[in-house]
Amino acid sequence: MLPSPEPVKFPFSLFAASLALQLLVAAVPDRMADLLVYRQWTRTMAVEGLEAAYWPPAARTPDEAFKRPPVDYPPVFPYVLGALGRACRSLAPELLANDRRLDFLIRVPLVVANATLGVLLFVLLRHRSDAKTATGIAALFVLNPAVVFDTAYWGQADALLALLVVAGLVLAPRRPEWGWVALAAAALVKPLAYPFLPLVLLETAKRRGWKRASSSAIVGLATWGALLLPFLAAGRLGDIVVALFFQLDAMPYVSVNAHNAWWIIGRGVPWTPAWERAIGPVTYETLGLVAFGAFYLAVLVSLWRSTHARALHFAAASVAFGLFVLTTHMHENHLFTFIPLLLLAGGERPGWRRFCVAISAVMVLNMALHDPFLKSRLDGRVPGPRVTLPPQLEPAAGLADYLRSEGYPEAAQEMAGDSSVLRLAFTLLNSQACVLLFAYWVWSLGVGRGWAAPPEPRRVRLSVSTCVWIAIFCFVTGAPFLWHLARAAGHTG
């Protein structure tokens, strides 16, 4: 007689602890001011509808404009906010009027998305490993400080994006149409999902043929059409399509506080326009697109050559990592999707779990070093010289005063650009760690050669030559950064 399969023991205590932790953090007052905007969108959609939230009437005063910011997101996350606002208006109008409680409620669906993604990772990895390992992998995500910081504290929609991306990649090999439905919805959460679509198209064509791949892509287009029906009903379909196109170039800066290659190249100076010339007539944005395009092509080659069932997952994780490190326009939290994709691709292997810990540390430090509240506390306590960084281009008049009046003094203080040199030096070290981890990822996977088996993390021997190369990299990338800081600090002093 064959032994009966081991029963799946679901780790209820893990997910209960994770939900309790995240909901506790979600009750912490917002300091970033993004939730201030989400709160305003929620109220507008609850009272006046979707059209008024995306295209509010012209403001007569700056203060009125600050209180009615137009929605600049694709519609899936605003749909969630609108549904929440209408539920509050119908069931408990006092919640809609209370800033703290509404901020908490806005974060709750995102916390639920985190938990759902953790459950999905546990179920998927349980089929490839034992219950203890699968539980540990789920814990690496749902108790991950970077995940909790981004979702429960900052209230960002990356958990919703990552949930739909992971679901789409899991469904695509066997049910490509449903995979395209999930990925099309993800692309209407944030444009960061777009680079995953060609991967799924190529994987579907390799497994099912180009006819099935084309029909699946059409299902994705139909999903977009269905999700944009409210705008069609409002007579605004053309306007939202145009808005979605221009949202691809939102925050067009070299690095929006992302600790990547461009943070090093930009020497930590914020708000450097990506369209400025870097080398001759070539702009920073063009260089970033060329670098990412070359890497993306190598990933596509690996995916096409690979014979392994999880090649799509390694390819998607590589794209998420490369997008953050190599392209301009990236934000502090845009590394989020890489974490669940890494665990999905190879979480059962100890080496990749250790890598997940390392990259999670980089991400949480990236966010913490730029969080207005934590930044103000750090800058106020560390010794050493200070520097005044340039403000955002063309900041709205009166915005700092408005933020102070709404209870965001740290965000208003951040606009002044005052910073400690030591904190900026930490951002350099974190950026160098991120780029080195990316180089290790590319080296370990052998991107461009194809994967016959799940890639193993390669062992790094800290030989003299390896240490010398790391030292050279840190010196070459760090010396111009630190020299610029020293000059700026001297000028400020």
Give the pLDDT confidence score for residue 395 in this predicted structure: 66
Read off the tokens for 196: 């995953």
Cα–Cα distance, 67 to 488 (Å, whole number)? 36
Burial class (CB in 10 A: 0-12, 13-18, 19+), 305: middle
> What length does the chain have?
493
* Long-range CB pairs of 454-463, under 8 A, 24+ apart, other chains included: 454/308, 454/310, 454/314, 454/345, 454/346, 454/349, 455/314, 455/346, 456/349, 456/351, 457/349, 457/351, 457/352, 457/354, 457/355
Read off the tokens for 208: 């099912």
Each domain of the chain, given as residue ranges in start order, spans 11-156, 158-250, 252-493
Q: For the chain, which residues score pLDDT lower than 50?
A: 1-5
Give the pLDDT confidence score for residue 6 in this predicted structure: 55
Cα–Cα distance, 339 to 114 (Å, whole number)? 12
Query: For the segment 418-447, what is each residue's pLDDT rounded down to a tens digit?
Result: 888 899 999 999 999 999 999 999 999 888
- Can you give the pTM of this predicted structure? 0.94
Under a CB-based contact definition with an 8 Å cutoff, are residues 484 and 267 in contact? yes
